[in-house]
Structure 1
Amino acid sequence: MTIEHILSELLPLFIMAFALGLDAFSVSLGMGMITLKPRQIFYIGIIIGIFHIIMPFIGIMLGRFLSEQFGSITTIIGSILLMGLGFHIVYSSISHDDEYRSVPAGGSLLLFAFSVSVDSFSVGLSLGIYGARTFVTILIFGVVSMLLTWSGLLIGRRAQGVLGTYGEVLGGIILVGFGIKLLFSV
């Protein structure tokens, strides 16, 4: 294999991974405005990276015919999850009750990771048709989304320090906004 061949194969995958990871980055900006510990930021990035490996892998394995049947349904589910998470964050911020603060852990972290990786599933379906190299593709998708998630969370964390509780409300509103945007892009 020549360097040109490798670049012509990997560059489009990096561009796709970056485009898919921008959802995670954007939503992580909002999520980062919740007070998070560095360990939580680390785990959130890892979980989202793992989901960006699992979802396209499943998509690649399922192939083209499922894409036509489930493409818009997965987007609707992802948008509803984002809006629900966003409303929960706004409610938790306004209530000032630390017991109900939305810390992205457990089920809410899995829902968050699923909602930002749904697009990877659809792309995986398309890539499965064209015979993309599965291991390379999912590895690139996972690493790029993990790095973009960490970047978004850290930038959001800085903004939260400046904005305080209003930052958490803004973060929840951002999540709701992205959910609405996804819902109407179907």
Structure 2
Amino acid sequence: MLEATSHLGQLLTVLILALALGMDAFSLGVAVGMKGVRLNEVLRISTVVALFHMVMPLLGMFTGHFMGEMLGHAASYAAGVLLILLGCHMIYNSIYGNGVQILDYRSTAGVILYSLGVSMDSFSVGVTLGMFRSDLLLTIAVFGAAGGLMSVLGLLLGGRVSRNLGDYGEAIGGAVLFAFGIMFIF
């Protein structure tokens, strides 16, 4: 009985953490979705986000306490800078048109950078869960499912919102990414 209660408690803890971490993927998915994405792009982006939401905590769990303390703040700063740059890029493109596009969110590099940005905090959480000897397979599966699902929901919602906002959708999405980047840094 005690073991079943312990497993249920661990499942609830991991699920709450996964949903909290998935909120970044949701919020930023709305911002990127405002730029306009097709259904196949939503699925591709969300799949990569789900993979990163599995890999980053896995790396964190293996890295351990010492490295987590050293890199934890640096990972947040790196994610913040990345999101600020992506946001500025979207704002720039919305103002000056799509003539010169530095980063395409539909490209492989764009999807990887986006996924890395929304999954950075999963690394630090993975370090913490590794110290508590959390069930590895359970953690990775729940984090991946939550990150992917929240990303799909955000991208789809952003696509709907962008149809109503017209040309301003990309600028608003860029401003949201910029704001999240500032929040990561401070």
Asked if Structure 1 and Structure 2 have the same fold, meaning a TM-score greater than 0.5 normalized by the shorter chain, the answer is: yes
1:129 aligns with one of 128, 131, 136: 131
1:157 aligns with 159
2:119 aligns with 117
What is the alpha-carbon distance in structure 2 between the residues aligned to residue 9 and residue 74 of structure 1?
A: 26
Of 2-11 and 131-140, deviating more is 2-11
Give the C-alpha shift of residue 3 in structure 1: 4.7
What amino acid maps onto 2:64 in structure 1?
Answer: G
Give the C-alpha shift of residue 7 in structure 1: 1.7
- 5+ residue gaps, structure 1, are none
Question: What is the correspondence of 1:74-93 to structure 2 with a 5 Å cutoff?
Answer: 74-93=75-94
- The answer to whether structure 1 residue 108 and structure 2 residue 110 are counterparts is yes
What amino acid maps onto 1:151 in structure 2?
Answer: L
* Aligned-residue identity in percent: 36
- 5+ residue gaps, structure 2, are none
The secondary structure found in structure 1 opposite 2:66 is: helix
Q: Summarize deviations over 1:46-95 as a string: whole Å, max 9, x none.
A: 00000000000000011111111111100000000001011111111222
Give the C-alpha shift of residue 145 in structure 1: 0.7
CA contact (8 A) 1:33 1:167 kept: yes
The secondary structure found in structure 2 opposite 1:34 is: coil
What is the alpha-carbon distance in structure 1 between the residues aligned to residue 124 and residue 63 of structure 2?
A: 10
What amino acid maps onto 1:147 in structure 2?
Answer: L
1:169 aligns with 171
CA contact (8 A) 1:92 1:102 kept: no
What amino acid maps onto 2:111 in structure 1?
Answer: L
1:64 aligns with 65
CA contact (8 A) 1:36 1:103 kept: no
Give the C-alpha shift of residue 99 in structure 1: 5.7
Give the C-alpha shift of residue 35 in structure 1: 1.5
Give the C-alpha shift of residue 135 in structure 1: 1.0
What is the alpha-carbon distance in structure 1 between the residues aligned to residue 183 and residue 37 of structure 2?
A: 26
What is the alpha-carbon distance in structure 1 between the residues aligned to residue 58 and residue 4 of structure 2?
A: 26
Give the C-alpha shift of residue 102 in structure 1: 3.4
CA contact (8 A) 2:105 2:114 kept: no
What is the alpha-carbon distance in structure 1 between the residues aligned to residue 13 and residue 105 of structure 2?
A: 35
What amino acid maps onto 2:38 in structure 1?
Answer: K
| Residues matched between the structures, number | 184
2:56 aligns with 55
CA contact (8 A) 2:14 2:139 kept: yes
The secondary structure found in structure 1 opposite 2:182 is: helix
What is the alpha-carbon distance in structure 2 between the residues aligned to residue 134 and residue 26 of structure 1?
A: 27
Give the C-alpha shift of residue 109 in structure 1: 1.2
2:142 aligns with 140
CA contact (8 A) 1:88 1:102 kept: no
